[in-house]
Amino acid sequence: MHYLATLAGREDTGVDPGTPEFDAEVAKYAAFEERAADAVAGGAALFPSADAMHVRRAGGRTLVTDGPFAEQAEVVGGFYVFDAPDLDAAIELARRLPAAEDGTIELRPMVMWSPHETPRGDWWLALLWEAPDAVIAPGTPEWDAAVAEHERFGAKYAAAVRGGGALQPPSSATTLRVRDGELLLTDGPFPEFAEVVDGLYLFAAASRAEAAEIAAAIPLGEHGRTEVRRVVDLGD
Amino acid sequence: MTTGPAGIDAVYRAEFGRAVATVAGMVGDIALAEDAVQEAFADALRTWPERGAPANPGAWITTAARHRALDRLRRESARAVKEYDAVVARAPIEEAEVSPVADDQLRMIFTCCHPALSPPSQVALTLRLVCGMRTAEIARAFLQPEHTVAQRLSRAKAKIRQAGIPLRVPPAHLLPERLPVVLACVYLVFTEGYFATSGPSAVRDELCDEAIRLGRLLCGLLPGEPEARALLALMLLQDSRRGQRRAEDDLIPLEEQDRPAWNHAAIRAGLACLESAAADGAGPYLAQARIAAAHATAPSWAETDWHAIVASYDQLLRYSASPAVRVNRAVAVGFSRGFGAGLAALDEVADDPRLAGTHLVPATRADLLRRAGRRREAAESYRAALDLAANEQVRRFLARRLAEVEE
């Protein structure tokens, strides 16, 4: 079973890619991955949200805007996909993530996941956010229609898409924090965000403009929003 | 007697949880097991009055439910082949009766109380799947609309399935952080029955009874866990006063209760449990049980062993930094070392932000001042407490006291 672990935390820590502090963080995650070994089925670290793009619908048009979204105290800093036999195994992995100590991790079972190679410098992450009550449940006719739309997108941009996945409903989410060594679990998605994660894509694009074009083609709910973020190149 | 609807209802109470736990263990799907057991009881209602009740109704229900579940798995070809094979290939269907196993119930309790489920879901699921309470009964007991409880139950079951919450007793290294969740769930069932003082009291009594039944079940399933016994001791000791806590619509403080009318059989059982728990370990429930025992064994309010109670509060504070515990400790300090000392102990916790906006501190201060004979200051504190108290019963109690000190 695949679980999406979305890592969220405050961004004002000054740990930006390219700094020694960032490299120290990366080393911690490398140690985590070594321990987690085969259970890691995907993941990426993200550049700060300052240069994010957002795609949404407005008056029947698709609108792309720049910059971080609203005034959120916490933002998504990266994600992992775990291949784990059950929720307990996924929790055991997530609680060892360095982000668990100073941020929040949301664990969501996935309906599907297409794995990817090691992220490169020209990769982007598209996080699909949706209003909680607008989320479509798997197995419904609306779901099948949405899947067909995503298949059309996938076929059109097959050369760019590097990976992606769909999630079980937000009610199946568990959020997790570790404070003073104590594991704290909460039933449900990130309490910090008004919207819920509804899916994700990884894709390659040579430029910001090309990334915006691809992101704008990703199917989007009437109340949804696509957050586009640059992926940190962690390859050697 | 077991053949009529009333008799079958008694079997339902006793056997529903065990049957669901056992069938769920076999088919790996709680919702399927629950439906199958429900159908097995429908079969029983149809056939027992004609043919007579079986010698072992629990085994009959479990076997019938297992057949029902297997039939369903066979019919639903869309279901995972793996699931079907695991059940069907393991044993031929025509085998002898299946009897529920205690381990299955323990697995079910830990699954219902998984920390990834919210506490209200844990409680509702445990009452439904372990105690066999019907949705309508749970709704009545918690004074909630039935559809709210039904929705909570179906959401929790969907989460167990979708999120892959395992149906098992957690491995040894997780037990220390998982058992407290289970004990907290059982105690929550109890306190909901014992401390919630509005609504149809008969149903609330049922929650106290279910919690004690769950406590006994846990003690039997986990004989090596002294905290399970300590929790049972705590519940039995508190429960011994249940009948004396309420008069009409008002709360009677412990001080004014009719002690000979307490349930002394429950006190004896609680004390025996406490002794056995204390011999094997220490923990937050043991400390709370000791406090309850000191009250239960005191010949009168004045002759209560307040030193022992303060010592137990100090123990309790090692496990929980709860400001409410410190407030209660301040009261006990007042009785054991003088009300001035109690007020000083209260001052130490009064600024805790977690108590801001509650009537707890001013009400406690008012009580200590009243006992110290400082009536004018007490009246002031009662007024401050009245400004903050939201519960009608509490307000009536505070107003009564205010009138006393204003006389």
Question: Token pair 């050369």 is at which residue?
Answer: A159
- Averaged confidence pLDDT in chain B: 89
Which of A4, A73, A15 lies closest to A48 in space, CA to CA? A15
| Cβ neighbours of B114 in A, within 8 Å | 87
CB distance B129 to B25 below 8 Å = no
In angstroms, the CA B156 to CA B165 distance is 10
Q: Which of A1, A183, A185 sits opposite B164 (nearest CB)?
A: A1
Residue B353 structure tokens? 């932000």
H-assigned helices in chain A: 20-36, 87-94, 99-102, 141-156, 208-217
CATH number assigned to the domain comprising residue B39: 1.10.1740
Report pTM: 0.88
CA atoms within 13 A on the CB side of A97: 30
A168–B164 C-beta distance less than 8 A: no
Q: Give mean pLDDT, residues B128-134.
A: 92
Per-residue pLDDT, B94: 46
In angstroms, the CA B390 to CA B398 distance is 11
Looking at the predicted structure, is the pLDDT value of residue B16 above 70? yes
ipTM of the complex: 0.91
Q: How confident is the model at residue B194 (pLDDT cuts 50, 70, 90)?
A: confident
Q: Which of B118, B164, B177 sits opposite A87 (nearest CB)?
A: B164
Per-residue pLDDT, B304: 96
Q: How confident is the model at residue B92 (pLDDT cuts 50, 70, 90)?
A: very low
B159–A172 C-beta distance less than 8 A: yes
CB distance A79 to A116 below 8 Å = no
Looking at the predicted structure, is the pLDDT value of residue B80 above 60? no
Looking at the predicted structure, is the pLDDT value of residue B197 above 70? no
Overall domain count for chain B: 1
A85–B165 C-beta distance less than 8 A: no
| Cβ neighbours of B166 in A, within 8 Å | 86-88
DSSP string for residues in B309-352: HHHHHHHHHHH---HHHHHHHHHHHHHHH-HHHHHHHHHHHHT-
Does B326 map to a domain?
no
Does B111 map to a domain?
no
Q: Give mean pLDDT, residues A4-25.
A: 84
- Averaged confidence pLDDT in chain A: 92
Q: Give mean pLDDT, residues A68-79.
A: 84
Per-residue pLDDT, B9: 86
Does B79 map to a domain?
yes
Q: Give mean pLDDT, residues B174-203.
A: 82
Query: Which residue type, as a one-letter code, is found at position B395?
Result: R
In angstroms, the CA B12 to CA B207 distance is 17
Per-residue pLDDT, B93: 45
Residue B338 structure tokens? 């003088």
Per-residue pLDDT, A163: 94
DSSP string for residues in B216-255: HHHHHH-TT-HHHHHHHHHHHHHHTTGGGSEETTEE--GG
CA distance B402 to chain A (A): 42
Does B316 map to a domain?
no
pLDDT (tens digit per residue) in A38-48: 899 999 999 98
In angstroms, the CA B128 to CA B138 distance is 8
Looking at the predicted structure, is the pLDDT value of residue A135 above 70? yes
Q: Give mean pLDDT, residues B210-234.
A: 94
Among A110-119, A212-221, B145-154, B196-205, which is the least confidently predicted range?
Answer: B196-205
Closest alpha carbon within chain B to A86: B164
Per-residue pLDDT, B65: 95
Backbone angles phi, psi at B62, to 5 degrees: -65, -45
A91–B116 C-beta distance less than 8 A: yes
Which of A121, A126, A116, A117 lies closest to A212 in space, CA to CA? A126
Residue B104 C-alpha from the chain's centroid: 20
What is chain A's Cα-based Rg? Answer: 17
Per-residue pLDDT, B96: 56
Per-residue pLDDT, B203: 66
pLDDT (tens digit per residue) in B357-400: 899 999 999 999 999 999 999 999 999 999 998 888 788 889 99
Q: Could you tell me the maximum CA-CA distance found in chain A, to the nearest angstrom?
A: 50
Which H or E element spans position B43?
helix B30-51
pLDDT (tens digit per residue) in A81-93: 999 999 999 999 9
Chains A & B: contacts with CB separation below 8 Å:
46
The structural domains of chain A, ordered by start, are: 2-230 (3.30.70.1060)
Q: How confident is the model at residue B186 (pLDDT cuts 50, 70, 90)?
A: very high
| Cβ neighbours of B111 in A, within 8 Å | none
More confident residue, A95 or B202: A95
Structural domain for B31, as ranges = 5-83
Q: Is residue A130 helix, strand or coil?
A: strand
Beta bridge partners of A53: A66, A228
Does B240 map to a domain?
no
CA distance A169 to chain B (A): 9
Does B400 map to a domain?
no
Does B29 map to a domain?
yes
CA distance B317 to chain A (A): 18
Which 8-state DSSP code applies to residue A137? P
Q: Is residue B189 helix, strand or coil?
A: helix
Q: Give mean pLDDT, residues B331-349.
A: 96
Closest alpha carbon within chain A to B162: A172
In angstroms, the CA B217 to CA B363 distance is 38
CB distance A125 to A201 below 8 Å = yes
Query: Burial, B12: exposed, middle or buried (Cβ in 10 Å; 0-12, 13-18, 19+)?
Result: buried
B116–A187 C-beta distance less than 8 A: yes
Which of A40, A36, A39 lies closest to A96 in space, CA to CA? A36
Residue A52 structure tokens? 């994010």
Per-residue pLDDT, B68: 94
pLDDT (tens digit per residue) in B280-295: 989 999 999 999 999 9
Query: Which residue type, as a one-letter code, is found at position A50?
Result: A
Which of B91, B111, B106, B92 lies closest to B29 in space, CA to CA? B111
Q: How confident is the model at residue B214 (pLDDT cuts 50, 70, 90)?
A: very high
CB distance A163 to A114 below 8 Å = yes
Does B32 map to a domain?
yes
CB distance A79 to A202 below 8 Å = no
